Amino acid sequence: MAIASVNPATGEVLRTFEALHDAAIDAAIARSERALRVNRARGFRERGIRMQKTAEILEKRQGELGRLITMEMGKPVKAAVAEVAKCASTCRYYAEHAEGYLADEHVKTEAQETFIRYEPMGTILAVMPWNFPFWQVFRFAAPALMAGNVALLKHASNVPQCALAIEEVFRDAGFADHEFQTLLIGSEQVERVIADPRVKAVTLTGSEPAGASVASIAAKHIKKAVLELGGSDPFIVMPSASLDDAVTTAVKARIVNNGQSCIAAKRFIVHESIGDVFEKRFVAAMEALKVGDPMDESTDVGPLATPRIASDIEKQVRDSVAAGAQLLTGGRRDGNYYAPTVLARIPPHAPAAHEETFGPVASLFRVKDVDEAIAVANDTPFGLGASVWTNDRAEADRFIDGIETGQVFINAMVASDPRVPFGGTKHSGFGRELGAYGIREFVNVKTVWVG
């Protein structure tokens, strides 16, 4: 099986790789077993030195690594460079905080001493997506390695060069005993890796079908899984909000990563009293975006990552319009490029009303009050994030309590941050990444009772 790196802006095949055969996979897992003994034996200070070096290398190479990201998956190069910089900051964060997060916790009991110890779980398989090819990996790998685990990466098949570059960064930073390895394998080989008794757990960021498949395999072999899946995030705007800030952020939240983000705002739920003015300004701002060469730093929206993704978004828009949705702007495809698009008056049965749109397509809804806004926000199988715009604190509290989601941002765009946990509810998955909760996902929580 060949794994191809293809530039989505031009269709050019950049490089091809042969998928690993079974013997090579077995050898990699064996190396990870030996690496585990090495990384587990290190103290937090030693791991931290290597993780700080990882951050330094990322910052030094952020220009070239950003261009590699753009070449393989098409996001604007400014965003790609910023992605690498965010990875560096996360490496530094866990280098500084891992020991505190995993320190022994003493509990008062009748025993002479009782405490909880966090120990590394072992070899963890990460099945990662193409849309943030560095960030998705580092937000798993930095805490996992700092906890004393080792990692195997099965990256998306359209970003093999990014996968190999990440392995090189860790190796050059001093994780040179195979603590982090990239496996260039197809999806059909993932089950074999999860089933191997030397692999202790798996984490996946991706689609619902991929998550369901990986979780069922992990369950069959009684192994832990963490899943971060899709999202159809609501962006709610109430009359008390700053409309200037809301519109500016709404556009940014919809077209981040060319619209290909699980936590991108996708459904814009606006109070009817400000519906007309929000719609007019939002549409104008979407129309003003520059679509073009992702290597041009002035570009706002580049190509979608693959022809399949472009076809899917084209069909969702076409079917939604056929179902009665109003096309306010966009709806045009040119190869892998898709124009920023806004749909309104969307019937409940239209794809844009209930499906995740993975591209620069926004769905507008109008509501009469807070209760209806919460009902529309929750009318989705997903529950990843929500952005709410209101300057009424009591109103904000109702949204915080009422929206079924893993994170709620008030007067801010939903984003991941190493200081706080990230993850979803419902079909958006289970488990958490980042923060103290993220680093504790892949450890053995051991109770010690000294009589």
Q: Which residues are catalytic?
A: 228, 262
Question: Which CA distances in Å does 328 have to 15, 245, 281, 374?
Answer: 40, 22, 12, 25
Q: Could you tell me if 346 and 325 are in contact, meaning their C-beta atoms sit under 8 angstroms apart?
A: yes
Q: Could you tell me if 270 and 234 are in contact, meaning their C-beta atoms sit under 8 angstroms apart?
A: no
Residue with structure tokens 């904000």? 396
Q: Residue 324 and residue 321: Cα distance in Å, rounded?
A: 5
3-state helix, strand, coil in the chain (%, to 5): 45, 25, 35
Q: Is 118 helix (H, G, I), strand (E, B) or coil?
A: strand
Question: Which CA distances in Å does 209 have to 63, 87, 118, 312, 431?
Answer: 34, 27, 32, 16, 17
In the structure encoding, which two tokens stand for residue 436, read together? Answer: 């103290």
The values of phi and psi at residue 340, to 5°, are -55, 130
Q: Residue 387 and residue 245: Cα distance in Å, rounded?
A: 12
Question: Which CA distances in Å does 179 have to 161, 171, 307, 430?
Answer: 19, 8, 35, 26
Of 30, 379, 24, 5, the closest CA to residue 177 belongs to: 30
Q: Residue 299 and residue 294: Cα distance in Å, rounded?
A: 6
How wide is the angle at C-alpha 143 spanned by C-alphas 140 and 148, nearest 5°?
115
